[in-house]
Amino acid sequence: MTFTPPASFTTRPTLRGTFGMSASTHWTATATAQAVLERGGNAFDAAVAAGFVLHLVEPHLNGPGGDLVALVRPAGADAPVVLMGQGPAPAAASIDHFRSLGLDLVPGAGGLAAAVPGAVDAWLLLLRDHGTWELAEVLAYAVGYARDGHPLVAGAAATIARVADLFHAHWPTSAERWMPSGSPPAPDTLTRNPAWATVLDALIHAGGTDRESRTEAARVRWMTEVLPEAATFLRRPHRHADGGDHPGILDAEDLKSWRAGWEPAETVSFRGWDVFKAGVWSQGPALLQTLRMIEDADDEHLDPGTAEGAHLLLEAQKLAYADRDAWFGDTEEAVEIAALLDDDYIAARRALIGPRASPDLRPGAPDGRPPALPPLRTEAAVADGSTGEPTVDRAGQTRGDTCHIDVIDRWGNAVSATPSGGWLQSSPTVPALGFCLGTRLQATWLVPGRAASLTPGRRPRTTLTPTLLTRGKEVIAMGSPGGDQQDHWQLPVMLRMLVGGYSAQQAIDAPTLNTTALIDSFWPRTWVPAGASVEDRLGDAVISALEARGHRVRRTGDWSLGRVTAVGRDADGVLWAAANPRGAQGYAAGR
């Protein structure tokens, strides 16, 4: 082994077995997925059931009004497909409209920032096309928790406390929903959502004569009856993150004309593994580009636990994310993936990696066009100077985040899914429905001619970026919350497993780091030149060496970065699962 030896102690074992494995960012979602597998459901039934439970148990990290990206690999398939649950900007979401309101950025909180919600429709599409269970069976877990209650996780309680003044003063329906006693709830308070249970019941009874048609009927009711009610509610002016009161612009026509769908995955080969990501409307290809830039390095230079390896990863990612910020999106200006991964272009980008940290944002010209960046903002977004995860409220300095779930079953079906958005702090709660809409449009620019410019009918570039890898019969499904940092935290885990020989749990537990030298995808869209965040466990020697190379290092504590979960199958058919210990919330289960 050429990597730093892994610690002999891990926070929990890498689970191993032959029946089925689940791992997610919340123990109840993991238990739900595993319960479905135990009752004969496949990995896709399990993921959908757990996904609807995540809406309830991690309401500050995702919700029914949010989005979803997943990689789905049916047993025996040559490659996974992308489950695309990222809805587009409304027809009225023009740059001119936002500018007429005196805005130079899409606000990070409030109905103006709502794209078409895609998560629920995507989960239902997955169930219709690849599941085996009836909708009523799959949703029974979520209906039960919504009606009977679940203990409120500490992170959600802390989020409610941070935005309590906003709720009281400006979002009374959110105050009623989350603070019925008038005060923020304590962690572990039994929390119910009867309005959402009623919505789920209506989806279950939407009609249809067989499993597929019943699921499709639920999709139709969701998009044409439920979501229009939410859009109408948010057309009342309400407080936004810019401090102004504005009406939302999403309407029923936007919802009627859109559905989640399937897309081919993008891929590169690395150390004998095929690595699959979503397209340039996500940030996924930045990981593919990073892998291409570092693939020729000697194994010992890929160790994130050394100064050499950490520096290489930071500098390669800075180049990849400069390209993301200039070229990724769902507009005519976006780059073609072939140009981004072209051999000559990769070689030119790799040649820019020097012995010192670059303080510059250096996008390339993958298809010959000069890169165009938005104006750069360098002031700190929040008190600790961190960037890269969703920001939703200036006064409370509250930063939303994301969930993740991976499932693999005994037949070889595998799914890696990252749902997000529609956080309880995104916009006012729709009282009749029990949820709010998301704010994904904050990832667009109010400047024309950019790859990620706000464009009616086009998807905002999403940060959601699950990963799936295959090598013959071997499979790895993995992902992480973390906004812009999702792939930054997956990469060290991946390298430690594929190159360093670590077990999945050893790789997840190991100290990690990420660059902050990118343009934050979330309001107020700042960046930190040469910035890097590191866990203190990386060690004083490595951290000092990074600082000597010019990195602006921010220490974040021993167990603070990276929230990766993963499941997989080895060549001999043995299944495994591992989960992140940070935050004492993620768990894996299986047998």
Residue ranges per structural domain of the chain: 25-258+407-443, 263-280+305-380+467-590
Supply the mean pLDDT for the chain.
95
pLDDT at 382 over 70: no
What DSSP character marks residue 461?
A: P
Share of the chain above pLDDT 90, in %: 94
Render pLDDT for 240-249 as a digit per residue (tens, 0 to 9). 999 999 999 9
Share of the chain above pLDDT 70, in %: 96
Residue labelled with tokens 């790895």: 476
Q: What is the pLDDT of residue 401?
A: 82
Higher pLDDT, residue 386 or 110: 110
Residue 553, phi then psi, degrees to nearest 5: -90, 135
Q: In what order do the strands lie in the sheet with 266-270?
A: 15-17, 575-578, 565-569, 474-479, 467-471, 273-277, 266-270
Render pLDDT for 274-314 as a digit per residue (tens, 0 to 9). 999 999 999 999 999 999 999 999 999 999 999 999 999 99
Asked whether the bond before 524 is cis by omega within 30 degrees of 0, the reply is yes
Q: What is the pLDDT of residue 396?
A: 36
Q: What is the band of 463 on the pLDDT scale with cuts at 50, 70, 90?
A: very high
Render pLDDT for 536-580 as a digit per residue (tens, 0 to 9). 999 999 999 999 999 999 999 999 999 999 999 999 999 999 999
pLDDT at 87 over 50: yes
pLDDT at 586 over 80: yes
Q: What is the pLDDT of residue 374?
A: 85
Are 498 and 520 in contact by the 8 Å Cβ rule? The answer is no
263-280+305-380+467-590 maps to which CATH number? Answer: 3.60.20
pLDDT at 392 over 50: no
Over range 85-89, report the average pLDDT.
98
Q: What is the pLDDT of residue 49?
A: 99
Cα atoms in the 13 Å half-sphere on the side-chain side of 329: 28
Q: What is the pLDDT of residue 399?
A: 53
Take residue 78 and report the two structure tokens written for it: 């040559």
Are 439 and 392 in contact by the 8 Å Cβ rule? The answer is yes
pLDDT at 456 over 50: yes
Q: What is the pLDDT of residue 381?
A: 38
Over range 465-473, report the average pLDDT.
97
Q: If phi over 0 gives left and psi between -120 and 50 gives alpha, with beta otherwise, what is residue 98?
A: alpha
Q: What is the pLDDT of residue 60?
A: 96
Residues listed for the chain:
591
CA distances to 8, 330, 331, 333, 517 from 450, in Å: 48, 10, 8, 6, 20
pLDDT at 123 over 90: yes
Over range 182-186, report the average pLDDT.
97
Are 115 and 87 in contact by the 8 Å Cβ rule? The answer is yes
Residue labelled with tokens 């309001």: 523
Q: What is the pLDDT of residue 378?
A: 77
Render pLDDT for 482-518 as a digit per residue (tens, 0 to 9). 999 999 999 999 999 999 999 999 999 999 999 999 9
3-state secondary structure 186-222: CCCCEECCHHHHHHHHHHHCCCCCCHHHHHHHHHHHH
